[in-house]
Amino acid sequence: MNFFNIALLILLTGSLAALAIRRSSLASWVGTAATVTACLFALTSSLHVLLTGEVLRQSLPWSVPGGEFALLIDPLAAFFVLPISLLSLFCALYAGPYMRHSGQQRSLSSHWFFFLLMVAAMLLVVTAANAVLFLATWEMMTLTSFFLVAWDHRQAEVRKAAWLYLLAAHLGMMLLLALFLLAGDICNSFNFSDFGPLARIPLGSASILYLLALFGFGVKAGLFPLHIWLPDAHPAAPSHVSALMSGVLIKTGIYGILRVVSLLPAAPAWWGWLMALLGGAGALYGISLAAQQRDIKRCLAYSTVENIGIIFLGLGFGIVATAEGHPQLALLAFAGGLLHLWNHALFKGVMFLGAGTLMHATGTRDMNRMGGLLRRMPLAGLLWIGGSLAIGALPPFNGLVSEWLIYISLARAGAGVVGFGALAPLLLFGLLGLVGALALVTFTRLIGICLLGEPRDPGAATAREADPVMLFSMGTLLTGCLAIGLYPQGALRLMARPLSQVVQTSPEMIAGLGQQVAPLGFAALLLVAILLLTAGLLFVIRRHRPLAQGTTWRCGYRFPSPRMSYTGEGYGEFAAWHLLPAFMRPTVNGGHIVGPFPAPARLHQESTDPVLVRLLHPLFTGIAERCQRLRWLQQGQLSVYLFYIFIASAVLMAWSIWAGGRGG
């Protein structure tokens, strides 16, 4: 526990110190140093818990009513502390060179203040053992990340994105307030350690609590259809902040759901089905829209929706399997979902940090203005391709391992159950396959349009390789991806204790799980070996054969221009018009040629979020219009308002007398 406290203290003093320093370079230095040391301490304590299983707890008095500064690092909390501290460490390292340019124009002290506080808030959220403390740190996490998203607040779209995020986060917060007030009312305490009676409440109230948790935490986690803030907020934020938010901040929502489910009575199957179906729908929805985005960070944000969907699919199916009495299948599904959570933190870190280096080098987020970057930024490009392989669940990287576990769980459920009950897991299995194939469309597009071909813009033509520190951060995260892909047993061994906390299992079953994935790591190793061998062979041959250079074949056309090469829209069009339903297609404006001597026409294509634009926007506009009708209540006269206060007090008094009469 001491190490964890030291980490928190370093983060808090570091944030204040950063706030006090006006000079950007010094503030960056202090911020980076504080985050790195603090994260190393937090990492040590989480590894200690994961390896030894010792539960660390501490409790300090706190003057807030109902509150207690109680921290608890059990394996489930440590499972989340590990990626939070790991990713924060590399994001902080990356932020130094990334923000250097921005720091010449304005002071970075406020950025580092909020960054350090956000890391501290995330660490506190997953370790808080008191509902009041939890909600306070949850709010602190929301506010600090809001300020980080709104860093470039001079741009209108950034302000809008940050505002949407704040709004969505607080709608979720209201559900969480209701959840913890109800739970606190049942248990007469706000300490998680006193939440024991929750496990004995009737199913009806438990379901209400579960739904509150699923949707309240789901907003933060990006659970479909509550993901609406995500595609706007991620592009608006600086890249290392997007990486941190997408990689770990939204995972605190999953932590919340897992924690609440572990407190509630044994879950009925429909809880799991609800989660798995929303997850599957989100995965398909997210990846289909990711294949349409021109903005590289928006594309990655939608891929986050997809991956969160896969995690929810795994965890939800795990709940189903537990409820229906298949502990083996539940273990596979939970292991897949949880491992995917770690994996996603690693490869989404690589991808967002890589997107940051491309933006930094070209000055744009628009993939149609990039191109040919692999020649100019060979290392950053290589790491980005590696990250894409991992995120597309391709061997030999880690994404395949976690998806494989979920696949196997679904397939075994489908093969084992008699009758049509087996159809649901089997269809989810096919859906996961479709999502994987669409991920291939998305990421070949992202890599192909951004990195390959010829530069489509002067900004891309003059791009230069990223700073070594930025490359080091990306490279280390990618090494982690490869390590889990080649040696998945290691990651599963580290996950054994958190797994046994969320699913009924025995050490033998966990050991068996390690043996099951071992061949996958072996196959990945074999693949790497044969690939290197063949590539070496080709390399040797190339040195001994005549080489000629020429231009690309363009059907005999002699004056090729980069403007003729494929664009992001062109690449996504085929899938959009042949695979997607009409409401998910991008909207095309303009492009009409009129008259016999037409003026130059312009064509603009845009992909907006259908849930936000077609569902939530009309809904909330409608509500706002209805509320307009209540404006006659606002008369603007003091006497009327006094009358309202009188009525309100009278009603409250009557209610308290009535409630008191019933003995409540």
* Residues between 413 and 452 with contacts to other proteins, criterion CB under 8 A: 414-415, 419-420, 422-423, 426-427, 429-431, 433-434, 436-438, 440-441, 443-444, 447-449, 452
Q: How far is the CB of 351 from other proteins (least distance, A)?
A: 15
Q: Which residue in the set 87, 219, 339, 408 belongs to the binding site for other proteins (CB under 8 A)?
A: 408
Residue among 542 and 558 whose Cβ is closer to other proteins:
542
580 binds other proteins (CB under 8 A): no
Instruction: Give one word for 325, left, alpha or beta, with left for phi > 0 and alpha for psi -120 to 50.
Output: left
Residue among 542 and 629 whose Cβ is closer to other proteins:
542
Residue among 177 and 579 whose Cβ is closer to other proteins:
579
Q: How far is the CB of 374 from other proteins (least distance, A)?
A: 5
Contact predicate 400/485, CB 8 Å: yes
Residue among 537 and 653 whose Cβ is closer to other proteins:
537
> In angstroms, rounded to a whole number, what is the distance separating the alpha carbons of residues 352 and 236?
12
Q: Which residue in the set 404, 471, 500, 611 belongs to the binding site for other proteins (CB under 8 A)?
A: 404
> In angstroms, rounded to a whole number, what is the distance separating the alpha carbons of residues 48 and 35?
20
231's CB contacts (< 8 A; 6+ apart) are 289, 293, 298, 301, 302, 305, 609
Q: How far is the CB of 439 from other proteins (least distance, A)?
A: 9
312 binds other proteins (CB under 8 A): no
Q: How far is the CB of 624 from other proteins (least distance, A)?
A: 40
Look at residue 191 and give its three-state secondary structure.
strand
Q: How far is the CB of 183 from other proteins (least distance, A)?
A: 40
Q: Which stretch binds other proteins (CB under 8 A): 278-286, 318-326, 571-579, 597-605?
A: 571-579
Q: How far is CA 124 from CA 75, 501, 626, 660, in A?
A: 15, 20, 40, 38
Q: How far is the CB of 240 from other proteins (least distance, A)?
A: 27
Residue among 316 and 395 whose Cβ is closer to other proteins:
395
Rg of the chain over all Cα atoms, to the nearest angstrom: 26
Residue among 360 and 445 whose Cβ is closer to other proteins:
445
DSSP code at position 107: -
392 binds other proteins (CB under 8 A): yes
Residue among 66 and 562 whose Cβ is closer to other proteins:
562
Residue among 214 and 441 whose Cβ is closer to other proteins:
441
Q: Which stretch binds other proteins (CB under 8 A): 7-15, 81-89, 239-247, 544-552?
A: 544-552
603 binds other proteins (CB under 8 A): no
Element (H, E) at 32: helix 24-52
Helices 423-451 and 378-391 cross at an angle (nearest 10°) of 170
**Partners of residue 656 on adjacent β-strands:** none
Interface with other proteins in residues 370-389 (CB under 8 A): 371-372, 374-375, 378, 381, 385, 388-389
Contact predicate 445/295, CB 8 Å: no
Convert residues 504-543 into a mask of x (bound to other proteins by CB under 8 A) and - (unbound): ------------x--xx--x--xx--xx--xx--x--xx-
Contact predicate 272/317, CB 8 Å: yes
Q: Which stretch binds other proteins (CB under 8 A): 56-64, 189-197, 475-483, 573-581?
A: 573-581
* Half-sphere CA count of 101, side-chain side, radius 13 A: 9
Nearest to 335 by CA among 448, 111, 495, 442: 495
Q: How far is CA 580 from CA 224, 293, 434, 438, 605, in A?
A: 17, 14, 12, 11, 16
The β-bridge relationship of strands 587-590 and 68-73 is unpaired
* Half-sphere CA count of 414, side-chain side, radius 13 A: 14
Contact predicate 385/447, CB 8 Å: yes
Nearest to 132 by CA among 187, 68, 195: 68
Q: Which stretch binds other proteins (CB under 8 A): 121-129, 159-167, 405-413, 588-596?
A: 405-413
566 binds other proteins (CB under 8 A): yes
Residue among 222 and 572 whose Cβ is closer to other proteins:
572
Contact predicate 35/99, CB 8 Å: no
309 binds other proteins (CB under 8 A): no
DSSP code at position 564: G
Q: How far is the CB of 360 from other proteins (least distance, A)?
A: 20
601's CB contacts (< 8 A; 6+ apart) are 590, 591, 592, 593
Convert residues 234-253 into a mask of x (bound to other proteins by CB under 8 A) and - (unbound): --------------------
Convert residues 451-490 into a mask of x (bound to other proteins by CB under 8 A) and - (unbound): -xxx------------------------------------
Q: Which residue in the set 551, 628, 634, 639 belongs to the binding site for other proteins (CB under 8 A)?
A: 551
Q: Which residue in the set 548, 593, 624, 633 belongs to the binding site for other proteins (CB under 8 A)?
A: 548
558 binds other proteins (CB under 8 A): no
Q: Which stretch binds other proteins (CB under 8 A): 14-22, 298-306, 412-420, 656-664?
A: 412-420
In degrees, rounded to 5, the angle at the alpha carbon of residue 450 between the alpha carbons of residues 609 and 463 is: 125
Task: Tell me the DSSP string of 205-238.
Answer: HHHHHHHHHHHHHHHHHT-TTS-TTHHHHHHHS-
Look at residue 366 and give its three-state secondary structure.
strand
Element (H, E) at 60: strand 56-61
Residue among 196 and 378 whose Cβ is closer to other proteins:
378
95's CB contacts (< 8 A; 6+ apart) are 28, 31, 32, 115, 238, 240
Q: Which stretch binds other proteins (CB under 8 A): 91-99, 124-132, 192-200, 396-404?
A: 396-404
What number of chain residues touch other proteins (CB under 8 A)? 82
299 binds other proteins (CB under 8 A): no
Convert residues 329-368 into a mask of x (bound to other proteins by CB under 8 A) and - (unbound): ----------------------------------------
Q: How far is the CB of 569 from other proteins (least distance, A)?
A: 11
What does the block give as tokens for 302? 């939608």
> In angstroms, rounded to a whole number, what is the distance separating the alpha carbons of residues 81 and 66?
25
Q: How far is the CB of 548 from other proteins (least distance, A)?
A: 5
Residue among 77 and 438 whose Cβ is closer to other proteins:
438
Nearest to 122 by CA among 256, 297, 303: 256
579 binds other proteins (CB under 8 A): yes
